[in-house]
Amino acid sequence: MFWWLRACLLRIYSTFTRRSTEIEIEEEFAFHLDMRTSEYIDSGLSAGEAERIAARRFGSLLRTSEAGREIRRGTALDRLVQDVRYGVRALLRERGFALLVATIMMLGIGANTAIFSVVYSALLRPLPYPRPQQLALIWSNLQKMGAPRAPATGAALQQIRDGCRVFEDVAGIWVGSGTFTGDQEPEQVKVALVSTNFFSVLGVKPSLGRDFNRQDESAGERSVILSNGIWRRRYGGDPNIVGKTVPADEGAFRVIGILPTDFALTFPPDSNVPSDIQAWTLFDRSVYTDSSTYYIRLLGRLRPAATIEQGQQEADSMAERLRSLFPDYRNENLQLQVVQLHRDVVSDIKPALVVLFFGAGLVLLICCFNVANLLLARANTRYREIALRVVLGASKWRVARQLMIESMLICCVGGGLGLGLGWAGLKLLMRIRPASLARVGRIDLDPVILVFVVVVSIGSGLLAGMAPVLETGRSNLIESLRESGRVSTGPSRNRMRRLLIAAEIALGFVLLIGSGLMIRSLMQLHTISPGFDPDHVLTFEISPRGWQSVERAAFVDQYEQRLLSLPGVESVGAISHLPFDDYPNWYSPYAPEGVAEDEKRNLLADYRATTPGYLQAIGARLLEGRGFSSMDLKSSRSVVIVDDVMANVTWPGQSALGKRLDIEQYLDGSFVHAWAEVVGVVAHIKSHSLLRPGRGQIYIPYQQSSREHLSFVVRTGGDPAMLAGQVRYELNQLDNTLALSKLRPMQEYVAMAMGPTRFIAILAGIFAALSLVLATVGVYGVVSYSVGQRKHEIGVRMALGASSADILRVVLMEGLALAVFGLAVGVAASLSLSGYLADLLFGVKPVDPLTYSIMAIAVAMAALVACWRPAHKAAAGRPMDALRQ
């Protein structure tokens, strides 16, 4: 008892006295060496000779003292350095193995780095404004219309600004387009109209010049703040431009400020507020008394300590006030909805990113299992080495730690490579990212990403290293040392390897199902018709501003005639709101004839003004009646064409032809109401989303609603891109003050609309392919190992009369059993998880029998392929060879 206590004390004592322990050991060795040397001198050797032989005899003094230090408990750091050095040596000895493992980890960590970079930039990184968590959007929920995220009127903005307490301030924004003119080529830009306080609410100051103030609202010239980009590009970065006027289509702008280089606005995709606004100017004062035009997006800043909930409470009382002030809001039973800006910006991309992050996590897990498996196999061949270390005085704990360190070392190398792969992957992601992800702004490798990679690498190292550590802990090392080189494996080690592989297959199956469902969705998306034919169509935008409606319409007509005369052009048309374009939507209520007064304003439709040629040029399908003609003039009777969605909602079971309804028209710069007759019905054209059903649409002849903003649609027999130069030339010939923008084939808009689905499908496909390959390699490894192990048994079987086919079957069955077990777990996991995918899918149910069967067959095939070689090898072996060994 006493001795035991003393030993314990010694242990504790020496832990704290590393230096003295070391000195003691060295003194002891020095004494030993001296004694030995004098022994040799006594036997007749020279002093030098004696010293040399004694030293040699001592063996490696260093090694002995290392062992001594270990036993006497050296410091942790000391041993760690030793272990790492030892680990590096061990891995360098087996470069091929190290490279294989590092490559696998590279794939896993690379995939995660890329996805995490996106997740971090989009979901986790705060918006680049001061105290971004205090910024919130205030949406109008027009309940009867069914427009939960509607913009507000100017009058409402004024009321809210005046009455807010919990909100520090509330600003408004609307984005349209304008054209910079002057000596240079005219350039169409996105122009934001904002309230004076917009930048102060956002917390952004111009880097040059000043912010808007109240005087700017009443100044003769309109004040403008320019984005840094257009300032550098169009005005050569000239600082003296501040205070000067620049010419534009609607008269001159006085430049009062330039925004900082890194400024970008981040609003949600459905807000129609893009991030690349080039010019900022103020709302006209009259806007703040307008209580009938709903178009202003509201951005509020909460007081420092205020919560979103408190903001919502204030908005509720604000809504009550607005309902009491404005009859339209009362009719709509207006509610105001406060949503944190960041949350709103990412809300539509978040589910996809979460799913992808989860998928990348699964890939990493599969990589870890695969590496664990390889490390297990390697540990088997290293048993003698490990056992020797134990005999030489290393504790089991230290051996375990050594294995762990090697696993971590290799995973850190994989992590370093993965960082590179992640960087490359990120470049790919940026290329295929959907528009909604483009809004989150800069996505790059942040220091946070580096921390992530380090943590993931070490975590993977720990996870993968666990398998060999558990195994060596369980087995009898000394026993294996005695077996003089014959590698021994109990059934337990193989069981662990099988378990790992089955888990790999199960996880891989989950990924396969996920990717299968996404790919099926993408295929479905490709098969559905958007309601028009996007092939062979060129589109571009111009903004013929500053004219009377009639003049503008005449100009458009003239230009269309010129385009139509170009070789190869089949049809030409123009529309105010091109499908899938990001220009602010035009949607308003309408009322069919004969509807009671209190039922009015409950129906909402997307309005589009089109020239007569549009429907034909875009390839719309006319279901009933006629298209517009050149006879539908401003002065003639008001007519509309409606789509089938709108017709079915409004007049279910009846023909819409000849029906009359109260609509909104846009004439000479203002919206007016008019009664119009339905002259045609077209098939619905998808305009906002390919996935979700859209609102009904009302088409108005351009003559009767000449919006300033117009997209042209040119259908040709050949490649639409070839026409680009000619349409530009024709425009210049007609009017060289007009700018042409967004020149692109219509196909691009459709591709953009498929963006999110394609994005997820591509990534999920990569993950699934990766996991299938890894699982196949894993099965191959386990089966060929087990065949090697069972050589003797197989030899006996063959000697006893089993045929090659029998052996082949036995081995294949072994692999197949793994696959079936993994599949069973994988199917269960997929069934319970695929519900989370439901929102991302299109035209396919989360539990899709076809996807499940195809993927199950794919996994089984992969397992068979993996077993084929080892099985053949086993079957081809001569039984006597196996028995003799």
Partner 1 sequence: MAKIDLMQGTLDMLILKTLTGGAMHGYAIARAIQERTDDALQLEEGTLYPALYRMERKGWIASKWGRSENNRKARYYRLTAPGRKQLNAESEAWISLSEAISKIMQTA
C-beta of 14 vs 228, nearer to partner 1: 14
When the beta carbons of 386 and 775 are compared against partner 1, the nearer one is 386
Smallest gap, in angstroms, from Cβ of residue 16 to partner 1?
16
Residue 882 CB, shortest distance to partner 1, in Å, is 31
Tell me the closest approach of the beta carbon of residue 111 to partner 1, in angstroms.
Answer: 46
β-sheet bridge partners, residue 302: 167
Residues 438-477 that bind partner 1 (CB under 8 A): 476
Nearer to partner 1, 43 or 218 (CB): 43
According to CB under 8 A, which residues from 15 to 44 bind partner 1?
24-25, 27-29, 31-32, 34-36
CB of 399 to partner 1, least distance (A): 15
Nearer to partner 1, 481 or 858 (CB): 481
The CB-of-517 to partner 1 minimum distance in angstroms stands at: 55
Nearer to partner 1, 3 or 635 (CB): 3
d(CA 41, CA 50): 6
Q: Is 623 in the site for partner 1 (CB under 8 A)?
A: no
Q: Looking at residue 682, what DSSP letter applies?
A: E
Binding-site member from 60, 561, 629, 689 for partner 1 (CB under 8 A) = 60
Nearer to partner 1, 475 or 549 (CB): 475
The full DSSP string for 330-389 is: HHHT-EEEEEEHHHHHHTTTHHHHHHHHHHHHHHHHHHHHHHHHHHHHHHHHTHHHHHHH
Residues 6+ positions from 329 with CB-CB distance below 8 Å: 156, 319, 322, 323
Residue from 48, 59, 567, 693 binding partner 1 (CB under 8 A): 59
Q: Name the burial class of residue 754, with classes exposed (0-12), middle (13-18) and buried (19+) by CB atoms within 10 angstroms of its CB.
A: buried
Shortest distance (Å) from residue 379 CB to partner 1: 20
Closest contact distance (angstroms) between CB of 378 and partner 1 is: 25
Question: How distant, in Å, are the alpha carbons of 10, 25, 82 from that of 21?
Answer: 10, 6, 18
- Out of 23, 46, 49, 63, name the contact with partner 1 by CB under 8 A: 63
Q: Is residue 589 within 8 Å of residue 580, measured between CB atoms? A: no
Amino acid at 409: L
Report CA Rg, the chain.
Answer: 37
CB of 46 to partner 1, least distance (A): 20
11 binds partner 1 per the rule CB under 8 A: yes
Supply the angle between the helices 849-876 and 746-789 in degrees, to the nearest 10. 30
How crowded is the C-beta side of 191, counted as CA atoms within 13 Å? 21
Give the type of residue at 119.
V
Whole-angstrom Cα distance, residue 604 to residue 694?
A: 11
Taking a C-beta distance cutoff of 8 angstroms, is the pair 531, 685 a contact?
yes
Rank residues 82 and 307 by Cβ distance to partner 1 and give the closer one. Answer: 82
13 binds partner 1 (CB under 8 A): no
- Pick the piece of the chain touching partner 1 (CB under 8 A) from 51-59, 101-109, 140-148, 863-871: 51-59
Closest among 1, 24, 4, 5 to 73, alpha carbons compared: 24
User: Which residues between 575 and 604 bind partner 1 (CB under 8 A)?
Assistant: none
Indicate the residue among 27 and 284 with the shorter CB distance to partner 1. 27
Q: Quick check: 64 binds partner 1 (CB under 8 A)?
A: yes
| Closer by beta carbon to partner 1, 1 or else 805 | 1
In three-state form (DSSP H/G/I as H, E/B as E, the rest C), the secondary structure along 258-291 is: ECCCCCCCCCCHHHCCCCCCCEEEECCHHHHHCC
Residues 472, 395: Cα–Cα separation, whole Å? 12
Minimum separation from the CB atom of position 104 to partner 1 (A): 36
Contact predicate 190/274, CB 8 Å: yes
Helix or strand run (H / E) with residue 391: helix 383-391
- Rank residues 243 and 490 by Cβ distance to partner 1 and give the closer one: 490
Determine what percent of the chain falls in helix, strand and coil, rounding each to the nearest 5. 55, 15, 25
What does the DSSP 8-state code read for residue 123?
I
Of 36 and 52, CB closest to partner 1: 36
Q: Which structure tokens are listed for 267?
A: 């609003």
Q: Which of 12, 57, 184, 385 binds partner 1 (CB under 8 A)?
A: 57
Q: How far apart are CA 17 and CA 68, in angstroms?
A: 14
**Residue 31 Cβ vs partner 1, minimum distance, rounded to whole Å:** 5
From 104-112, 313-321, 386-394, 596-604, span contacting partner 1 (CB under 8 A): 386-394
Nearer of residues 58 and 547 to partner 1, judged by Cβ: 58
Query: Is residue 485 a contact residue for partner 1 (CB under 8 A)?
Result: no
Which of the stretches 60-68, 235-243, 434-442, 810-818 binds partner 1 when contact is defined by CB under 8 A?
60-68
536 closest CA partner among 728, 712, 711, 718: 718
**Residue 392 in contact with partner 1, rule: CB under 8 A:** yes
- Least Å distance, CB 477 to partner 1, is 9
CB of 366 to partner 1, least distance (A): 38
Interacting residue with partner 1 among 251, 393, 669, 717 (CB under 8 A): 393
Q: Are strands 222-226 and 660-667 parallel, antiparallel or unpaired?
A: unpaired
Nearer to partner 1, 60 or 381 (CB): 60
Work out which of 12, 478, 721, 799 binds partner 1, going by CB under 8 A. 478
Q: How far is the CB of 511 from partner 1 (least distance, A)?
A: 46
Interaction of residue 391 with partner 1, rule CB under 8 A? yes
- Pick from 506, 399, 412: nearest CA to 462: 412
Task: Select 57 or 131, whichever has its Cβ closest to partner 1.
Answer: 57
| 10 or 451: CB nearest partner 1 | 10
Q: Quick check: 388 binds partner 1 (CB under 8 A)?
A: no
What is Dmax (Cα atoms) for the chain?
132
Residues 66-85: x/- map of binding to partner 1 (CB under 8 A)? -xx--xx-------------
Distance in Å, CB of 403 to partner 1, minimum: 21
Quick one: 47 or 478, whose CB is closer to partner 1?
478
Tokens for 542? 């111009």
Residue 100, class by beta-carbon neighbours within 10 Å (0-12 exposed, 13-18 middle, 19+ buried)?
Answer: middle
Residues of this chain, 535-574, that bind partner 1 according to CB under 8 A = none
State residue 756 phi and psi, 5-degree precision.
Answer: -60, -45
Sole binder of partner 1 in the list 10, 528, 633, 876 (CB under 8 A): 10
- Between 6 and 845, whose beta carbon lies closer to partner 1? 6
Report which of 501, 377, 374 is spatially closest to residue 820, judged by C-alpha positions.
Answer: 501
> How many residues form the binding site for partner 1 (CB under 8 A)?
33
Interface with partner 1 (CB under 8 A), residue from 13, 15, 58, 430: 58
Which amino acid, residue 827?
V
Give the x-and-dash track for 648-677 against partner 1 (CB under 8 A): ------------------------------
Tokens linked to 20: 């003295």
CA pair distance 561, 685, nearest whole angstrom = 25
Q: Which is nearer to partner 1, 42 or 598 (CB)?
A: 42
CB atoms within 10 A of CB 77: 9
List, as one string, the DSSP characters of 185-225.
Answer: --EEEEEEEE-TTHHHHHT---SEE----HHHHHSSSEEEE
CB of 469 to partner 1, least distance (A): 20
Minimum distance, C-beta of residue 397 to partner 1, in the bound complex (Å): 14
Ramachandran angles phi, psi of 165, nearest 5°? -125, -50
Q: Which residues bind partner 1 (CB under 8 A)?
A: 2-4, 6-7, 10-11, 24-25, 27-29, 31-32, 34-36, 57-60, 63-64, 67-68, 71-72, 391-393, 476, 478-479
